[in-house]
Homo-oligomer: A and B are copies of this chain.
Amino acid sequence: MFFSSDNAGPVHPQVIAAITTANTGYAPGYGSDAFTQDARQKVRDTFEAPEAAVEFVINGTSANALLLATMSQPWETIFCADVAHIQEDECNAPEFYSQAKLTLVPTVDGKMSPDALRTKIESEQNRGVHGPQRGPLSITQVTEKGTIYSLDEIRALTDVAREFGMKTHMDGARFANALVALDCTAAEMSWKAGIDTVSFGGTKNGALGVEACVIFDPDLAWEFELRRKRGGHLLSKHRFLSAQMQGYLADGLWLDLARAANARCTQLATGLRDYDGLTFQCEPQANIIFFDMPRREHKRMLDGGAFYYVMGGDPHTGDPDGMLTGRLVTDWSVTEDAVQQFVDLLHG
């Protein structure tokens, strides 16, 4: 019953196999190898973006920080959700790389509305040289609350950004989970909806540690490469990063894994929905569930062998009736049995 995070699960064998395949003899370092060339092309094909620059890094924090730094200036502010991963969970990495600051847009169920975005942008207006200047917008898909922007919603946000001359970055740590939920193409969910750059995640969905930075304007590529090297994020044995992406994309594995993770989440939500005293914070749409439940119930679940995060307090001390928030994440490897076991334990 492991639901703590989709980075706690194992690497899919097909990704390991790709690493092993790449481990034959010599290959030039730093991304000049044939594996990298092929992986880049596979990502371009996936996004139907033959001109896009594609570079690989080891994780989502570096992907986000490097892309946002490449899109902004030190005297600008980056607009993002008040619950954004770049705000809450990257220990100032975006600020470190970009030297810019973050302006937080209020959200409902993890999602910004075009109006909320516009209001925030306009509130920064008219200070001339004194205030921070407008930098890019960053949106997260799947959001940090497990919800998903529809294609129209993405377009509405990028339209607002564009109106103010701003570019848009997508933190796609769970890009695949959103894609299969929306049943659309990668192009539709990115550049066709006005997105300029994507952190295209692999790590949370079966890879060992790889994200593709997809930059639809190839003029930014060289700056990105210099920033990556300067950040210490260019791997010497680069083929093993690229090989993961090869394995991840081959035969639609990435979509299969996301479908599996989402399906287990649906199964889980169904099992929890009718449980008295448990409420969802918002309707789960991908592979994450946030739910409120009395401390006593959390304690019972954890003591019963379930693994997941409980927020806002310690389930083992304090008022047993006090409500705490739990987070459940299903990764590709979670089994139907594990989900059932969790549901059964809850219903006790």
Residues of A within 8 A of B (CB): 2, 4-5, 7-11, 16, 19-20, 23-30, 57-62, 65-66, 73-77, 88-93, 95-97, 99-102, 104, 126-127, 129-133, 203-204, 208-209, 223, 225-227, 229-237, 240, 307, 311
Contacts and interface: CB of A to CB of B under 8 A. Distances in A.
A90 B233 CA distance: 10
B11 A93 contact: no
Given A26-B8, A209-B236, A231 B96 contact: yes
16 contacts: A5-B236, A7-B29, A8-B28, A10-B25, A19-B208, A59-B236, A61-B234, A75-B91, A90-B230, A91-B130, A91-B229, A96-B230, A97-B232, A99-B99, A129-B225, A208-B240
Nearest to A225: B129
A26 B2 contact: yes
A62 B233 contact: yes
A26 B11 CA distance: 10
Instruction: Count this chain's copies in the assembly.
Output: 4
Given A7-B237, A90-B232, A226 B133 contact: yes
Contacts of A227: 75
A221 to B, nearest CB: 11
A186 B91 CA distance: 33
Task: Give the most central of A30, A99, A203, A229: most B CB within 10 Å.
Answer: A229
Contacts of A76: 92
Contacts of A77: 92
Given A62-B233, A208-B240, A236-B59, A226 B129 contact: yes
Interface of A is mostly: loop
For the complex of A and B, the 3 pairs showing the least CB-CB separation, nearest first, are A62-B232, A7-B236, A61-B232
Contacts of A237: 7, 11, 203, 208-209
A232 B231 contact: yes
A244 to B, nearest CB: 11
Contact of A88 (B26, B29, B127): B127
Contact of A131 (B7, B10, B26, B89): B89
Given A7-B29, A26-B307, A62-B232, A127 B89 contact: yes
A234 B59 CA distance: 8
B101 A203 contact: no
B240 A209 contact: yes
Contacts of A59: 232, 234-236
Contact of A226 (B62, B75, B97, B223): B75
A72 to B, nearest CB: 11
A312 B242 CA distance: 31
Contacts of A10: 23-26
Given A23-B16, A27-B8, A29-B7, A93 B232 contact: yes
B26 A9 contact: yes
Nearest to A88: B131
A208 B226 CA distance: 23
B65 A92 contact: no
B5 A29 contact: yes
A328 to B, nearest CB: 14
